[in-house]
């Protein structure tokens, strides 16, 4: 039995009179790498901000690891490491120091444990050897990986990434994909990753959720979606089809 780890039920978010998320319902199971796809302005960041409890829904509900985010935010967020848009660090700190500061927010660890944990996450994300450099000289790809290292400090079950590939060069993309696959496999971390480019995620996501103008257009297994286009087998073609049909 697959376990539901993210659940969104009849979720609606209004900004003033504008309906930015429209009665959205979907689930993500434990161990999934789920792509959350939609054109710019579709509502991806808004949905992620709802999921991370940064804003409240107008109606409907959200669950992380079966815990209601609206009713029990703190408890629900315990299973989560999230990066909404670009991770923000104090650029004048070294990567290591930035992580050590963030680890201090976790009361469960003493000083030695925090040091160990920071060392461990630096190694996992492949920043070993660069941890004494200031964040401001890191490449975008390195900053993304530092963001993931930050998320890992709390041993999350779920990591949410909002458009992580934005601005990454091809090599940065490959490294990011490898890291996501590794964490999924070795630590059984569920990923929920937004993008406006479908092809980008096709390679690693077993599940896709496609939205348009705040509404769910399609959700299911990547293979299922691919089998729809026997000719080209390119997700981009289906995406265009979904976006242009009503
Ligand atoms: N705080 C806000 N107030 C009003 N409108 C907003 C706010 N945040 C986002 N929006 C609007 O909601 C829509 C979806 O935005 P967003 O979730 O950022 O889309 P995406 O991340 O898919 O590009 C856009 O039309 C945006 O202008
Ligand atoms: Mg966005």
For residue 85, the model assigns a pLDDT of 55
Domain of 68, CATH number, reads: 3.40.50.300
Q: Domain count for the chain, please give it.
A: 2
Final residue of a domain: which of 139, 155, 171? 155
For residue 119, the model assigns a pLDDT of 96
For residue 6, the model assigns a pLDDT of 97
Q: Which residues of the chain have pLDDT under 50?
A: none
Kindly give the number of the ligand 1 atom that is closest to the alpha carbon of 211.
22
Give residue-wise pLDDT tens across range 143-194: 989 999 998 998 999 999 999 888 888 888 898 999 999 999 999 999 999 9
Same-domain status, 149 and 161 = no
Residue nearest to atom 7 of ligand 1 (CA): 15
Same-domain status, 64 and 166 = yes
Rounded to 10 deg, the angle between the 111-124 and 95-103 helix axes is: 130
Determine whether the shortest distance from the Cβ of 15 to ligand 1 is under 6 A: yes
For residue 211, the model assigns a pLDDT of 95
Same-domain status, 181 and 240 = yes
Same-domain status, 150 and 166 = no
Determine whether the shortest distance from the Cβ of 122 to ligand 1 is under 6 A: no
For residue 86, the model assigns a pLDDT of 56
Residue nearest to atom 1 of ligand 1 (CA): 15
For residue 106, the model assigns a pLDDT of 78
Kindly give the number of the ligand 1 atom that is closest to the alpha carbon of 214.
14
For residue 165, the model assigns a pLDDT of 85
Final residue of a domain: which of 102, 120, 155? 155
pTM of the model: 0.92
Same-domain status, 127 and 6 = no
Final residue of a domain: which of 155, 184, 204? 155
Same-domain status, 49 and 148 = no
Q: Which domain holds residue 113?
A: 88-155
Give me the residue label for tokens 């609606």. 12
Same-domain status, 71 and 108 = no
User: 59 CA to middle of ligand 2, Å?
Assistant: 21
């Amino acid at each position: 039995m697959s376990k539901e780890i993210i659940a969104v039920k009849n979720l609606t978010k209004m900004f003033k009179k504008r309906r930015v998320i429209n009665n959205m319902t979907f689930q993500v199971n434990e161990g999934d790498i789920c792509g959350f796809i939609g054109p710019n302005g579709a509502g991806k960041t808004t949905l992620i901000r709802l999921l991370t409890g940064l804003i409240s829904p107008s109606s409907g509900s959200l669950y992380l690891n079966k815990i209601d985010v609206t009713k029990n935010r703190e408890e629900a967020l315990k299973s989560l490491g999230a990066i909404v848009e670009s991770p923000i660090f104090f650029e004048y700190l070294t990567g290591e120091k930035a992580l050590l500061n963030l680890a201090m927010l976790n009361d469960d660890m003493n000083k030695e444990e925090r040091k160990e944990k920071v060392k461990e996450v630096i190694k996992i994300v492949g920043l070993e050897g660069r941890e004494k450099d200031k964040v401001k000289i890191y490449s975008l790809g390195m900053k993304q990986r530092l963001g993931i290292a930050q998320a890992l400090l709390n041993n999350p079950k779920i990591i949410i990434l909002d458009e992580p590939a934005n601005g990454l060069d091809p090599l940065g993309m490959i490294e990011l994909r490898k890291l996501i696959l590794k964490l999924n496999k070795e630590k059984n971390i569920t990923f929920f990753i937004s993008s406006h480019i479908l092809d980008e995620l096709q390679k690693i996501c077993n599940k896709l959720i496609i939205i348009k103008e705040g509404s769910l257009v399609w959700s299911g297994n990547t293979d299922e979606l691919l089998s729809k286009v026997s000719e080209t087998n390119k997700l981009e073609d289906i995406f265009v089809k979904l976006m242009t049909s009503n």
